[in-house]
C-alpha cells in the first residue's frame, strides 16, 4: 500500500438543545461535514423525573444510535468486502446502575453493553466475522465509547465562558 491508497476524512456534528415544558428537550442536530444536513429531535422523561413522556427518553436515542450505527457499518462493509448477506438483525442491551445517597442527585455508571447479531448468509464464518470486526472499527459511536474521551463542560457567565 502506498500513500495514495490512504484516505482520511473528518466527520463533525453539533447540537443545540433547549428546555421546553417540564422535562422536554428540543434539539437541532447538524452534520457539519463532510456535508451539511440538519434534523430536529425531541426527548422527554417519564414521570420518575417529572416529565410527561411526550418524546423518547434521551437514553433511547443512545440505544438506537449505537445499534443502528453497527447495523449500518455491517451492511456497508459486507458490500465493500464482497460478503453476501441475506439478512441481519442486532439485539443490543445496555445496563447501568445508579447510586443515590440520601436526597443527593444519583450518580450513574455503566455496567455492560452487549450486542447479539443474527446473520443470514451463505458466506463462511470467517468472512462474517471479518465483516463484524470491520463494522466495530467503523462504527463512530462504538469507537467513541471505546476510546477514553474527556467531555468538556463550560458555563456562560456574563460575556465569558468558565470551565465547570
Residues 38 and 63 in one domain: no
Q: Per the structure, how many domains does the chain have?
A: 2
Residues 45 and 61 in one domain: no
Contact 82, 95 (CB under 8 A): no
Residues 81 and 137 in one domain: yes
Contact 57, 42 (CB under 8 A): no
Contact 151, 82 (CB under 8 A): no
Instruction: pLDDT tens for the chain, 164 residues: list them.
Output: 666 788 888 999 999 999 998 999 999 999 999 999 999 999 999 988 889 999 999 999 999 999 999 999 999 999 999 999 999 999 999 999 999 999 999 999 989 999 999 999 999 999 999 999 999 999 999 999 888 888 999 999 999 999 99
Residues 79 and 23 in one domain: no
Residues 61 and 49 in one domain: no
In eight-state DSSP terms, residue 34 is: S
Residue-range definition of the domain harbouring residue 2: 1-56
Contact 133, 74 (CB under 8 A): no
Helix (H, G, I), strand (E, B) or coil at 136: helix
Residues 34 and 65 in one domain: no
Own/partner contacts of 50-55, CB < 8 Å, gap of 24 or more, are: 50/22, 50/23, 51/22, 51/23, 51/24, 52/21, 52/22, 52/23, 52/24, 54/21, 54/24, 55/24
pLDDT score at 3 = 62
Amino acid at each position: 500500500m502506498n500513500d495514495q491508497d490512504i484516505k482520511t476524512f473528518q466527520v463533525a456534528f453539533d447540537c443545540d438543545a433547549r428546555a421546553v415544558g417540564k422535562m422536554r428537550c428540543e434539539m437541532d442536530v447538524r452534520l457539519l461535514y463532510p456535508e451539511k444536513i440538519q434534523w430536529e429531535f425531541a426527548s422527554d422523561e417519564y414521570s420518575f423525573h417529572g416529565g410527561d413522556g411526550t418524546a423518547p427518553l434521551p437514553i433511547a436515542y443512545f440505544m438506537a444510535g449505537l445499534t443502528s450505527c453497527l447495523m449500518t457499518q455491517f451492511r456497508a462493509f459486507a458490500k465493500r468486502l464482497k460478503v453476501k448477506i441475506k439478512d441481519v438483525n442486532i439485539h443490543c442491551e445496555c445496563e447501568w446502575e445508579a447510586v443515590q445517597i440520601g436526597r443527593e442527585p444519583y450518580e450513574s455508571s455503566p455496567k455492560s453493553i452487549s450486542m447479539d447479531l443474527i446473520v443470514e448468509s451463505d458466506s463462511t464464518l470467517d468472512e462474517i466475522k471479518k465483516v463484524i470486526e470491520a463494522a466495530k472499527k467503523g462504527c463512530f459511536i462504538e469507537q467513541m465509547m471505546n476510546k477514553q474521551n474527556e467531555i468538556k463542560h463550560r458555563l456562560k457567565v456574563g460575556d465569558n465562558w468558565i470551565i465547570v
